[in-house]
């Protein structure tokens, strides 16, 4: 399949979903980027070099692709994932993301599917995207042709962001202050105990390096109920 948003994918999706009940036509757009191993390949059948940066109009530059942006459409009640993708020399610009999202929403609306959410991680370009869509603490949705769509940062990245912020800053809530030093003090005390309250906690949880900070498991374990209960005791 060529890069970009392919009409044949939406035609297949239309056939698949036209017999669905209305509740099964609700869906969410998921968008993410990942790095690629740079490689150019000549496709003889298409007379095209694959692996170059492409734009929204399917025009290709001479720049090699280092990343790929992937767009998936996930059914809320049904499991279906049509997708499109774009080869990128770097990350995709937030302004281009807005155009892609509008295209996808309109294509899905044309086949009687209803988009209710847009989900992404917290990459800098997606953060800029949320600002372009006027998302803030007072308004968590944007509109495409008067259709209301909620913007959601995915929960694994929210958990890691919470851990990272607590690692660097104190949190104040209900006139009480907490900070990472209390987790460090608890861990130093607990690891010396004969019977540990939080046996899963390790140095990687309390002082994670850059690679360990990427692991969702480490963030969820240090912010878990069992750690909170151990600190409370």
Q: 99-121 pLDDT, tens per residue?
A: 889 989 998 998 888 999 999 99
User: pTM for this one?
Assistant: 0.78
Q: Is there a contact between 35 and 66 (Cβ–Cβ < 8 Å)?
A: yes
Q: Is 193 exposed, middle or buried (0-12, 13-18, 19+ CB in 10 A)?
A: exposed
Residue reference for tokens 């990272």: 164
Give the mean model confidence (pLDDT) for residues 82-110: 85
Return the CA Rg of the chain: 22
| Rounded (10°) CA dihedral 9, 12, 13, 16 | -160
The span from the CA of 217 to the CA of 123, in Å, is 19
CA distances from 1 to 6, 43, 81, 154, 219 (A): 8, 12, 15, 28, 37
Highest mean pLDDT pick, 32-41, 76-85, 187-196: 187-196
Mean pLDDT of the chain: 87
CA–CA gap between residue 214 and residue 196 (Å, rounded): 26
């Amino acid at each position: 399949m060529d890069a970009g948003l392919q009409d044949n994918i939406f035609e297949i999706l239309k056939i698949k979903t036209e017999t669905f009940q209305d509740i099964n036509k609700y869906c969410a757009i998921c968008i993410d980027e990942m790095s690629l191993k740079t490689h150019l390949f000549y496709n003889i059948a298409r007379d095209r070099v694959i692996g170059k940066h492409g734009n929204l109009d399917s025009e290709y530059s001479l720049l090699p692709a280092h990343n790929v942006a992937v767009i998936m459409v996930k059914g809320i009640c049904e499991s279906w994932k049509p997708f499109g993708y774009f080869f990128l020399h770097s990350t995709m610009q937030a302004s281009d993301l807005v155009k892609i999202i509008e295209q996808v929403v309109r294509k899905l609306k044309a086949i009687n599917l209803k988009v209710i959410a847009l989900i992404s991680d917290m990459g800098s370009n997606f953060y800029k995207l949320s600002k372009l869509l006027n998302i803030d603490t007072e308004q968590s949705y944007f509109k495409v042709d008067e259709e209301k769509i909620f913007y959601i940062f995915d929960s694994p990245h929210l958990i890691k962001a919470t851990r990272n912020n607590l690692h660097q800053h104190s949190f104040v809530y209900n006139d009480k202050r907490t900070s990472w030093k209390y987790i460090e003090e608890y861990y130093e005390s607990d690891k010396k105990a004969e019977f540990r309250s939080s046996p899963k906690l390790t140095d990687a949880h309390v002082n994670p390096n850059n690679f360990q900070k990427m692991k969702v498991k480490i963030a969820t374990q240090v912010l878990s109920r069992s750690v909170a209960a151990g600190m409370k005791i």
